Amino acid sequence: MPKAITIEPIDGKPGKPGQVYYPLSLKNVPTPTPGPHDLLITIHSAALNHRDLFLRQHLYPSPSFDVPLLADGFGTVTSIGSSASKSWLGKNVILTPGRGWKDDPAGPEDKTGYKILGGTKTCELGTLQEVVCVSEDEVELAPEHLTAAEAAALPLTGLTGWRALVSKSGNWEAGRNILVTGIGGGVALNVLQFAVAKGCAVWVTSGSQDKIEKAKKMGAKGGVSYKTDGWEKELKKQLPKDRPFIDAIIDGAGGAVVPKAVRLLKLGGVIVQYGMTVSPKMDWTMPAVLSNLELKGSTMGSRKEFKDMVAFVNEKKIRPVVSRIVKGIDNIKEIDELFQDMKKGTQFGKLVIEIQGQGGSSKL
């Protein structure tokens, strides 16, 4: 029988950091049977996101002890349903990481809400398992230039970054100055890659000078440590004289970073907030109001945005950054270490599990 990894219940008080940390549980699961329009996929690699850590800490809604973890997955179609297109058979694919959002720019059409894969009662599918069954409408061909690990690293953060920068910021244009905070996380790195590939000038912030230097090697024009007093003044000195302001800030941290960064924005500039990992609250000051700044919330994205994002990655031959790879679904010890890396914030890029030890290009 195929193997899968879920979380296992333990005693403790849910909802407080440090009170609960659900252990991983390796179990055997039945091989799914494809419906008429379904694809049976052997998963080669899957990747972590912050929500997976939050699920283990019971800081994410509706955790399930039966649904496998993880939303990101790459694999090969090994069987198809009776009405599915035969062209899928044998193809390498990446799974869409969510359900219930087709193409509405405003948000999910599903009245019950958007459902993300992995570890919750709202969606029965997760990618931390050897075999999955999904509708043929919920996959895209994996870009052939990507390795198995890179392909698994793309879906959730790629979609989130695409919507924040491309759909929401209004500044995805060559020559625009973009500030990406918290560089090193998957979404921030994808935003950097998408912006650089379009011809934007990108600046970054981080608490790690090493991460800033790595970002500069990826095309960032410069960056500063938010741990330095007056870092926003230092960043202002780095901006070009002919465009001495930031057009848009793409932020996933919240807290005190953005209130300082808004001083760098042009009149009518935009802040796109796709997460608040540092603090669930953020000051919005009167100077921001008087500067006619726009603050926009952003989430993952639609099926259409996912398709567009994958096409751009294919066109520009973008490679998602992978920080660490662990091999084998039964390698619980090292898979657990990936969660510790995420908890400490030491990673630069995505944390990936090669489910069945498949490496090489996405062609396999």
Tokens at 61, concatenated: 């809604």
Q: Which domains does the chain have, with CATH numbers?
A: 3-157+319-354 (3.90.180.10), 169-297 (3.40.50.720)
What phi-psi label fits residue 105: left (phi over 0), alpha (psi between -120 and 50 degrees) or beta? alpha
The average pLDDT across 82-107 equals 97
pLDDT for the residue numbered 18? 63
Per DSSP, the three-state class of 250 is strand
DSSP state of 185: B
Tokens at 242, concatenated: 């002919």
The average pLDDT across 58-77 equals 96
Are 49 and 140 within 8 A, CB to CB? no
H/E stretch holding 67 reads none
Of residues 14 and 292, more confidence is placed in 292
Are 109 and 63 within 8 A, CB to CB? no
Closest of 337, 310, 294 to residue 154, by C-alpha: 310
pLDDT for the residue numbered 213? 98
What span, in angstroms and rounded, lies between the C-alpha atoms of 92 and 11? 41
Are 320 and 146 within 8 A, CB to CB? yes
In this model, does residue 28 exceed pLDDT 70? yes
In this model, does residue 12 exceed pLDDT 80? no
Q: How many CB atoms lie within 10 A of CB 127?
A: 29
Backbone angles phi, psi at 286, to 5 degrees: -60, -40
The average pLDDT across 193-209 equals 97
pLDDT for the residue numbered 284? 85
Least confident stretch, 142-156, 190-204, 299-313, 350-364: 350-364
Tokens at 273, concatenated: 């907030």
In this model, does residue 10 exceed pLDDT 80? yes
What is the maximal distance between C-alpha atoms in the chain? 63
The average pLDDT across 25-44 equals 97
303: confidence class by pLDDT, cuts 50, 70, 90: very high
What span, in angstroms and rounded, lies between the C-alpha atoms of 147 and 291? 45
pLDDT for the residue numbered 14? 67
The average pLDDT across 55-75 equals 96
178: confidence class by pLDDT, cuts 50, 70, 90: very high
Of residues 80 and 284, more confidence is placed in 80
In this model, does residue 255 exceed pLDDT 80? no
In this model, does residue 351 exceed pLDDT 90? yes
pLDDT for the residue numbered 16? 63
Average pLDDT, the chain: 94
The radius of gyration of the chain from alpha carbons, rounded to an integer in Å, stands at: 20
One-letter amino acid at 204 equals V
Closest of 189, 200, 46, 66 to residue 123, by C-alpha: 66
List of residues 6+ apart from 293 with CB closer than 8 A: 262, 265, 268, 269, 270, 271
One-letter amino acid at 348 equals F
In this model, does residue 256 exceed pLDDT 90? no
pLDDT for the residue numbered 17? 59
In this model, does residue 359 exceed pLDDT 80? no
DSSP for 291-342, written as a single string:
TT-EEEE--S--HHHHHHHHHHHHHHT----EEEEEE-TT-HHHHHHHHHHH
List of residues 6+ apart from 65 with CB closer than 8 A: 6, 7, 8, 9, 22, 25
Which segments of 108-177 does DSSP mark as H helices, in order? Answer: 148-153, 155-162
pLDDT for the residue numbered 282? 83
The average pLDDT across 252-277 equals 88
360: confidence class by pLDDT, cuts 50, 70, 90: very low
The average pLDDT across 269-293 equals 86
